[in-house]
Chains A and B, each alone.
Chain A
Amino acid sequence: MKRLPHLVAAAAALLVTLMAAVAYSSYAGSVEQKYVHAVAALDHADISGGSALERTALRQDDLLLIYGASELMLLDTKYEATRFFSTYPTGFMVFNAATKGGSALSIVQRLAALGADLRGRRVILAVGPAIMTMAPFGDVAERHYDGNFSELHALELAYSPYLSMQTKQLAAARMLDFPETLKDQRFLTFTLRNLTGNSLGARILYYLSWPLGRLQLGIMHVQDQYATVTFIHHLSAAQVKVTRQPQQIDWPALVKTAQAEQIRQTDTNPYGVDNSQWPKIKELFAKPLPVGSRDADFINDVTIAREWSDLDITLRAVRELGAEAIIMSIPMNVPLWERIGVSRKAQNTYYSILHSVAAPYDLPVIDMKQYGDVKYFSMDLASHASRKGWIYVDRTLDKIYHGILP
């Protein structure tokens, strides 16, 4: 000690810091456990870049986690799952981790961040046809990817000990396709480049950076927990109150009520498109096209969509992480697509590819194709669930939770 006072002192300071971090983490864990059901019913976008609460939600038997995109986020309605199930009418509640502009590439990073906690846990992967059928090259828009990007999730994927090198390389190559998102992320960019590099040097650099990456993640986990606890502490007493009220749900009656409400929101057009979405797409309906006239373009667009390969990477990760995932697709809006020249047969291309992508992973797929003809299910071409659509989605989730589906 006499010879190395600085070393001993620095080690002591680091030890105290480590003990403080462990103690805080334990405290934060108890706060998260206490309030996770309350937060599930609230908009938690303020902490959506973290994983602490999702990790806690995974451990709750009465919470069903959903990952997805705007199909399950856009409409502000009391029928949206987190509001509909907020009183645990049938014994469970939904923890909705779907995000506006979400994509398979964002989801795989979110899932990778949960690591071993996912093993054996049931999660819903909500897939929608919007990106595959409407986005240029079927690829997620850069602004959407950027809006959902989390450094924590990305680093977790890059340094995941639970994912194979090949899966990490595939994901890293795609992440590098969005350079704007990475422009302030030098360490992450360095890691992703080394991950995708084929040279021995790149591989050595990746493994040399591993301890630094894990250290960074250790710090970020504590930061994530701090952000989560701060978020919870800012909630009011009314917000953290959880009410459990078992009740029988009359689904057919709810469908009728929701349809009546939805019809009132579609009075600007004869196609059943929600008034909020109609101005965005009305030009497409200025001159309705003969059914089938746009089939070739549609089939080509859907077939080459990059989102499929991203979904494939996500499913690889799901398998390697050991999650019991259920793929739930929101249906195509069949009558609306027919109005703009795409036949039902051509629309089925979406379902065919979805099943063929999922098949190698032996995961159950609930494609909800039977609802494609139900008027007012979707509120637009992009299959965003309407009020009525939400009732069908809620019922499907209820059946999944109670083991009736798949």
Chain B
Amino acid sequence: MWIGLWIRSIMEFFHSPWGHVLLLSLYYSAIIVGLVLLYGKGQFTATNFVYQGF
């Protein structure tokens, strides 16, 4: 019974303007997190090469 009320109040919150924006913010944040995980590492190791001198 109380679970149903709880779910309903959450749904109502997400249908409110603030809730909608919060949901969208989470959505955009998830996209950014995904991009960071995919491309965020960077490459700072020197390229491997055999130094042959002169």
Chain A residues near B (Cβ < 8 Å): 1-2, 5-6, 8-10, 12-14, 16-17, 45-50, 70, 74, 99-101, 130-131, 134-135, 143-144, 146-152, 220, 223-224, 226-228, 277, 280, 380-382, 384
C-alpha spacing A150/B43, complex, angstroms = 9
Within 8 A of A (CB), among B9-54: 17-18, 20-25, 27-29, 31-32, 40-49, 51-54
Closest 10 CB pairs of A and B: A223-B42, A9-B24, A147-B49, A13-B28, A49-B44, A134-B54, A50-B44, A100-B51, A9-B25, A12-B25
A101 touches B17 (CB 8 A): no
C-alpha spacing A70/B51, complex, angstroms = 9
Chain B residues with Cβ below 8 Å from A50 are 44
B21 touches A224 (CB 8 A): no
A146 touches B49 (CB 8 A): yes
Q: A12-B25, A49-B44, A223-B41 in contact; A5/B49 too (CB < 8 A)? A: no
Q: CB-nearest residue of chain B relative to A52?
A: B44
Chain B residues near A (Cβ < 8 Å): 17-18, 20-25, 27-29, 31-32, 40-49, 51-54
A223 touches B17 (CB 8 A): no
C-alpha spacing A147/B50, complex, angstroms = 9
Chain A residues with Cβ below 8 Å from B42 are 220, 223-224, 226-227
C-alpha spacing A292/B24, complex, angstroms = 79
B24 touches A6 (CB 8 A): yes
A49 touches B24 (CB 8 A): no
Chain B's nearest CB lies how many Å from the CB of A406?
28
Chain A's nearest CB lies how many Å from the CB of B27?
7
